[in-house]
Amino acid sequence: MRLSRYFLPVLKETPAEAQIASHRYMLRAGMIKQAAAGIYSWLPLGWRVLKRIEDIVHQEQQRAGHIPMLMPTIQSADLWRESGRYDAYGPEMLRITDRHDRDMLFGPTNEEMITDIFRSHVSSYRDLPLTLYHIQWKFRDEVRPRFGVMRGREFYMKDGYNFDVDRDAALHAYNRHMVTYLRSYERMGLKAIPMRADSGPIGGDNTHEFLLLADTGESEVFYDSAILDLELGDRAIDFDSVEQCQAICDEWTAPYARTDETHDPALFDQVPEDRRRQSRGIEVGQIFYFGTKYSEAMGARVTNKDGEVVPVHMGSHGIGVSRLVGAIIEANHDDKGIIWPEQVTPFHCGIVNLRQGDGDCDAACERIEAALIEKGLDPLYDDRDTRAGGKFATMDLIGLPWRITVGPRGLQNGVVELTSRRTGESEEMSIDAAIDRIGQIYAAA
């Protein structure tokens, strides 16, 4: 992409309303624009990050055999009356009346709707296990929306629902989801720690939240630092294997890790003192096993192997896709701007032309751009006829992990400069070497 033809409205000044880094930088980097309190337009740069996160979530869900679909944003109130949540949900539910005076709502979650789909079509254990999920816009009418997309009203979420014949099968689905979530976060370049949680309005006994460590997190968290050393890497996982999924969950839930809601000081004291950590965290996902809460209320039953008709066992599982954009910035920034992990960066590499209009510089930049595109990468080439200082400041602000700087002096010596946004270190090398290096970095990412 050529910056001269892109829409990247960066702001020089820090918007007064933004209290945390991610909100400030998303506004300043031209990623979002507020449309109403807690409601944002995703400008082109923000949209790219949102899509990359969405893609990772889709890939990891489908790898585990979970089936994508899409439920609508607007729901009928009737289903929520069946489950009893229409009255219980409170003022955070955006209630709507259509032109025929029917009670509707903008869905904050989809347990009722998916249970209705299930009961309409499935009646036998032979069609189980089944996990359906979607990634859709949700609405939660927060009384005080704040922190940009971190606590917005309209938000983009992956929510998935498993249906199993009994508790054991459903607990395997729970574990399977934990594994898919761990891998999703890891692929985004994040350390998200599963922590035992409260179930809140979803219900159920088994639930874990996934928290990203960040100073601005809303939750207080207590954990054993040993958990930070765990990595899934690219280990092969058979998602049908009860033992394998259980073993991974055991590995990740063995070290102490809890939020203030479930913190147990006596247990925490058993962690070796040099590994005890207290910090703040941002919730970026949660998984639940709630058994037959919705299936009993709504009559979602299947025939089991013994011919008995039993309520199906369910769980639900959510990843905050739009929230993650903010959370990743909270965990990856400095005083110049954002520092994207390679896995979710909106563009893979910036190209800065120090002398736009100079034949050699222009040709070198175009050659680098074309070579990176050839490798399947998306470079952002700052081809504007503006000063170098401004170009560097923009690249630092928008946080592309790598930048290639092309100037007349370097070209005379046959070199360009490759700069890491994270370390700030620059290295001179030939054009081909820079292209190869970027290719290698992303092949490994």
Select from 21, 49, 64, 132 the one that contacts a copy of itself (CB under 8 A): 132
Question: Should residue 210 be labelled a site residue for a copy of itself when binding is judged by CB under 8 A?
Answer: no
Among residues 56, 58, 54, 60, the alpha carbon closest in space to that of 42 is found at 54
Largest CA distance in the chain: 81
CA gap 289, 208 in Å, rounded: 9
Q: Is 305 in the site for a copy of itself (CB under 8 A)?
A: no
Side-chain-side CA neighbours of residue 92 (13 Å): 17
Please tell me whether residue 137 binds a copy of itself under the rule CB under 8 A: yes
Block residue for tokens 């007349």? 408
Residues 99-128 binding a copy of itself (CB under 8 A) are 99, 102, 104, 106, 113, 116-117, 120-122, 127
- Which of 17, 55, 65, 424 is the binder for a copy of itself (CB under 8 A)? 65
Mapping DSSP onto H, E and C, the string for 305-368 reads CCCCEEECEEEEEEEEHHHHHHHHHHHCEECCEECCCCCCCCCCEEEEECCCCCHHHHHHHHHH
Query: Least distance in Å: CB of 140 to a copy of itself?
Result: 11
Q: Does 36 bind a copy of itself (CB under 8 A)?
A: yes
Taking alpha carbons only, the member of 408, 399, 398 closest to residue 365 is: 408
Using DSSP's 3-state secondary structure scheme, residue 120 falls into: helix
Residue 294's nearest CA partner among 159, 403, 201 is: 201
| Cα-based distances in Å from 170 to 128, 218, 258, 369, 438 | 10, 30, 23, 49, 43
- Smallest distance, Å, CB 164 to a copy of itself? 14
Phi, psi of 246 (to 5 degrees): -60, -40
Q: In the complex, what is the shortest distance from the CB of residue 163 to a copy of itself, in angstroms, rounded to a whole number?
A: 10
239/268 with CB nearer a copy of itself: 239
**Residue the block writes with tokens 């997190």:** 217
**Residue placing its CB nearer to a copy of itself in the complex, 75 or 216:** 75
Please tell me whether residue 68 binds a copy of itself under the rule CB under 8 A.
Answer: yes
Query: According to CB under 8 A, which one of 18, 20, 27, 43 is a site residue for a copy of itself?
Result: 43
Per CB under 8 A, which of residues 354..383 are in contact with a copy of itself?
none
Rounded CA-CA distance 432/131 in Å is: 47
Nearer to a copy of itself, 103 or 362 (CB): 103
Min dist CB 85 to a copy of itself, Å, is 16
Smallest distance, Å, CB 432 to a copy of itself? 28
Does 254 participate in binding a copy of itself (rule CB under 8 A)?
no
Question: Which of 63, 76, 342, 417 is close enough to bind a copy of itself by CB under 8 A?
Answer: 76
Does 98 help bind a copy of itself (rule: CB under 8 A)? yes
Query: How many residues form the binding site for a copy of itself (CB under 8 A)?
Result: 53
384: left (phi over 0), alpha (psi -120 to 50) or beta: beta
Say whether residue 9 binds a copy of itself (CB under 8 A): yes
When asked if residue 88 is in the footprint of a copy of itself (CB under 8 A), the reply is no
Q: Return the structure tokens found at 252.
A: 């990740």
Per rule CB under 8 A, is residue 40 in the interface with a copy of itself? Answer: yes
Q: Of the listed pieces 92-100, 334-342, 409-417, 425-433, which binds a copy of itself according to CB under 8 A?
A: 92-100
State phi, psi for 310 to the nearest 5 degrees: -130, 150
Q: What is the spatial distance between Cα 296 and Cα 391, in angstroms, rounded to a whole number? A: 60
Contacting positions for a copy of itself (CB under 8 A): 5-7, 9, 30, 33, 35-36, 39-44, 46-47, 50, 65, 67-76, 91-92, 94, 96, 98-99, 102, 104, 106, 113, 116-117, 120-122, 127, 130, 132, 134, 137, 139, 141, 143, 153-154
